[in-house]
Structure formats: C-alpha cells, structure tokens
Amino acid sequence: MTSILGINAYHPDASACILVDGKLVAAVEEERFTRIKHWAGFPRSSIEYCLQQAGLRLEDVEHIAINRNPLANLGTKVFYSLRHLPAGRQLVERIKNSGEIAGVKKRLVDELGPVDGKWNPRVHNVEHHCSHLASAFYPSPFEKAAVVSVDGFGDFVSTMWAEGQGTDLLIKGKIFFPHSLGLLYLAVTQFLGFNNYGDEFKVMALSAFAENGAPDALKQLVVPGPGGSFKLNLDYFSHHRLRFSMDWNDGRPQIDPVYSRRFMEFCGKPRSADEPLMSLHTSMAAGVQTLYEKQLDRLLAELFRSTDCRCLCLAGGCGQNSVANGKIHVKGPFEKVWVPPVATDAGGSLGAALWVWHMVLGKTERLPMEHAYMGPAYSQSRIDNAVEEYRGLLNKIECRISHFDSKRILCETAARRIAEGKVLGWFQGRMEWGPRALGNRSIVCDPRSATMRSVLNRKIKKRENFRPFAATVLQHALDQWYLHPTESPFMTHVLEIRKDKLPTIPAVSHVDGSGRVQTLNKRQNELFYQLVSSFERLTGVPMVLNTSMNENEPIVRSPEEALKCYLRTAMDCLVIGDCLLERVN
C-alpha cells in the first residue's frame, strides 16, 4: 500500500487530502473546521480528518506532498531580487514563509504525534503551478489534453501551461512575477470596494450589468507578448513595490491594495464598500472581465497550435472564472473543457499528491474524478443526537420534526416543499470538496420563482442583489434549456439559457440571460438526483436553484452547524439525513 498525504499549508485555502494506492480517499479545506473563509495556515484538522477517513496513523504515511517548492525558479528569483532589492519587511515575510514550508514534517509531528522514531517519510516539494496542472489533468477524463494554470502567484510564477498525455505532463511555458492576470483582476476587485480575499467572483457577476460594454481604456493595463504571453503595465500596480505586504498567518488572508497611485489617477477614486455601485463601476467590472478573457483566448490559441489537442484542462484561481470557462468551447478551438471542483490553491494539495504518484513514483493508473464528495459524513444516530440536543430551540420556533423510512417519499416530500416556494436546506452524505455546494450541503429552491432571489437574500444569504444563483440541471435535459451545452458537474461553467426558457426560470437567470450550471446524473449523486427528478415530475422543470448552506461563513460541515444555520436564519425547511424539520408558522 502506498499512501500520499497532500498539503496546502501557510497559504490561503489551506487544505489536505490523502491518496491510497492512487485513489483519492478524502480531501477537505481547513476553513470548514476553523469557520473562517479562505483560512491560511497549517491545516491540522484537515490532515487529522483525512488520516481518520483512510484508517491511517501519521506514521503510516510514506509520502508527504506539498504544493510549494521554495527552490523552484530560484535563478529567476535571485536575478529579480538583485535588480529590485526588496525592503526588509517583505524579504522577512518571504523567508519566514519558506521556512514554514520546509518545517512541515516537524509541524506534523508536533501537532499529530507522537510517532515511531523510525518514521521517515519522503517529503516532496512540488512547484505550485505543477500542482495546479496535476490537479486539472490527472482527474480529468482525457487521455490527452492541453493544460493551463492561471492565478495570482505561486513559487514566483503566475501562469503555466503544459501538454498532458497519459501520465506525463510536459511543461511548455511559464509567466513569472510580477506579471499576472490574477493580480490584474484583483486590482480591479479591490478598486471596486470588494476587499475580502476571494471577492473576484463578485466582479465577475457585476460585469454583466455594464450598460455600454467594456471600456477600451483598461486595455493599457496589459501588454500582449509573443506566443500568447503578456506583461502588466507595472506603473498601474503596486504588488512588485517594496512596501507591499501579504499575511497568510493562521487566519483570514490579508493583501495590501495591488493598484498604484497611477491607477487611481487613471480610474478615479476607489469605491468604498458601502458606496452605491454606479455605471463607472459596472463598466470597470466588464472591462477587466473582457481583458482577462481576451488574454486567456490568446494563450489558449497558442497552446492549441503547439499541442493540437481538442481537450483542455484548466486550474489555478482564475479557473474559477465560470463566465470565461463557459465560453471556451463555444469560441473554439477546444471542444471539451474540464475544470476540477477545486481549481483554487486548496486543490493544490491534491495536485501535489497526484504529481508525486504519477511523475515521481511513475504510477500509470489514472482514476478520473466523477464527483467531489470527499469530506466528512455523519451517521443518522449522530444526526438524531444533534436534533435532540437542539430540540428546545427548535420547539421555540415551533418546528415540526418528521422522520422518513423511505428515501423516495423523503425526496417527493422535499420536492413538494420546494415547489410550494419554501427555502429548503439539504444535508446529506459526505461534504463537498471545493467552494461549491453540489447537493450534500445545499440550500435548494424553486427556479421558477421571480422573487426567490430576494427571498433567499432576505431570509439567509444577505448578499449583494447583483449576484445570481446557480442551477442544478439533470444532465439529460441540459440541451433543452441551454445553448452550447457542456458537462459541468462541479458548477464551473456559465452557459447561455435558451431565450424561450428564460421566462420559466428567472431565479437562476442572470441579467444577460446566462446562468451558472451544475450538471447532474444519477451516478454522481443518487439521492440528490432523486430529489431533482421528483421536482421535475411535479413541475416539468428538470432543475432546482442550488446554493451553499451557509450564511456569510464557510459551507456547513456537521449536523450541529446545519442546525445552527437553520435556527439563526429564516430557512423554512431542513432535510438532514432522514429527518425533515419544518417551521409551522
């Protein structure tokens, strides 16, 4: 038996996974335990869960794979540093982070020991973007594919592309610090007043509201180069300057503004978080989205030319840009696009482990990923105990509790509540791996309701009204409702809704007539499939609105967290295991 523990540590979206003989047994983000979004630090609880799920002790682990390599691109780093001697504070932060990465084995023993004194696992430092590439290609269904990783930075690189064939990944190109499409998008995100780590998806949603399209002026932020490459016009950015700082230390990630004073002279006064959104702001959102898509198109065109692959795998933080993802197969030349459930840095733990399995150990068996249910599950007895623990509070809100012996009747009853316009929580099985609820930690609603988005925001989500909600669509019906259909099992693509269907599903339609989609078949999640199928039989609509079960926090993990979310919000119903909780009034 060969066991590989994959870790993303001392970086945003800290996470862990475990491979046993090449099979992914468990994977989870540390934020689900700390309850702090995008938590950065050492993923102790995630590691502990993964080992428990695999039935292993720490000393049983033979390989540790880390998605950072302080020695990667060392010559480029040294050359850049000699030309741009960093201030003491920034240099100290970089050295400290590298030191923490190097000390992961000791931290493991300190946190999860004691272990046998003979324990001497092989520790593998895998370059950051190699981990991203591996997380995209190896779990994909493609034997051969072009593979691209685009994000902010990792190991001094922002973008890397490769050709994957069988179990080989041939690196074909890199773009180095300080040039980054991720930092370009972040600069506009911060300028628009969205200052939390990971807020780029808000700009992506806002871009659809631009009345006059994208402004040409933003084009000067990026200088296209040969072979699909690019450079940032660094006059408009500050991340390469001496006093720029990032904080990844055991908590919520913090990043200084990456736009410069010149950027403000060019674009005007930055928006404060409580300031109303104006046409200038929607125009800038559209501008950066268009700029990102055009540069990505250039890179992909060159990659297709050099690989002649018809399939594409995409990862890195920018791989979460579902608007851009949904257009790739429409524009061509790539016919199929696969994005993993965790394209972000959290997915680097899996990528590092897969890189070791295939590229270091030379293993040839690949196991395509059909679902993302890799987190903790809880027994019905644990659920029943949690419900009993909270019974007093449930009685205070006049909650009726029903139990179902039949899964069919449970799904049919839940589907009727959804069709009646109820907001229903759905807590089942193993938690999802990644930022999207895919039917095990979900809130499910009727997509036909024109008021459902405002109802959801009032009762639970309390988020900006320009942000759309996604749909889970039965895979067999996708082409009847969406143009240019493509499989999207991990909710990573935005597709254009057929115009004749738009009036039927306003709750999952964006202002531009598009919608983010999770495609679902019975093999991926039989119980959730049964729920959506029950809704289809009732209404004739083969989809539901599906959003994550949370309220300005990470997705709920345990029965207790699901019950707390139900109690502190105005959620109408909660299906948790075989129990249905309903507010009577």
The pLDDT, as a whole number, for residue 215 is 65
Fold of 138-339: Nucleotidyltransferase; domain 5 (3.30.420)
pLDDT digit string, tens, across residues 201-241: 999 999 999 987 656 778 899 999 999 999 999 999 999 98
Residue 91 scores a pLDDT above 60:
no
pLDDT of residue 390 exceeding 90: yes
C-alpha span between 533 and 541 (Å, rounded)? 9
CATH topology match: 3-130 vs 138-339:
yes
Q: Check pLDDT > 60 for residue 56.
A: yes
**What is the sign, positive or negative, of the torsion defined by CA atoms of 166, 169, 172, 176?**
positive
Q: How far is Cα 286 from Cα 291, in angstroms, rounded to an integer?
A: 8
d(CA 4, CA 62): 6
Provide mean pLDDT across the span 147-158. 96
Average of pLDDT values for 477-485? Answer: 97
In 233-374, which residue ranges form alpha helices assigned H by DSSP?
261-267, 279-307, 322-331, 348-355
Select from 3.30.420.40, 3.20.80.10, 3.30.450.20, 3.40.50.2300 the CATH code of 3-130. 3.30.420.40
Residue range 493-537, pLDDT digits in tens: 999 999 999 999 999 999 999 999 999 999 999 999 999 999 999
pLDDT the model gives residue 86: 55
Report pLDDT for 367: 93
pLDDT at residue 87 in the model: 43
What pLDDT digit, counting tens, does each position of 70-83 carry? 999 989 988 887 77
Confidence category of residue 99, pLDDT binned at 50, 70, 90: low
Q: What is the pLDDT of residue 77?
A: 85
Domain edges within the chain: 3-130, 138-339, 380-583
Residues with Cβ within 8 Å of residue 526, at least 6 apart in sequence: none
User: Looking at the domain 380-583, which fold is it?
Assistant: DHBP synthase (3.90.870)
The 10s digit of each residue's pLDDT in 526-567 is 999 999 999 999 999 999 999 999 998 999 999 999 999 999
Average pLDDT, the chain: 94
Please count the helices (runs of H) and the strands (runs of E) in the chain. Answer: 19, 23
pTM (two decimals):
0.95
User: What is the average per-residue pLDDT within 267-295?
Assistant: 94
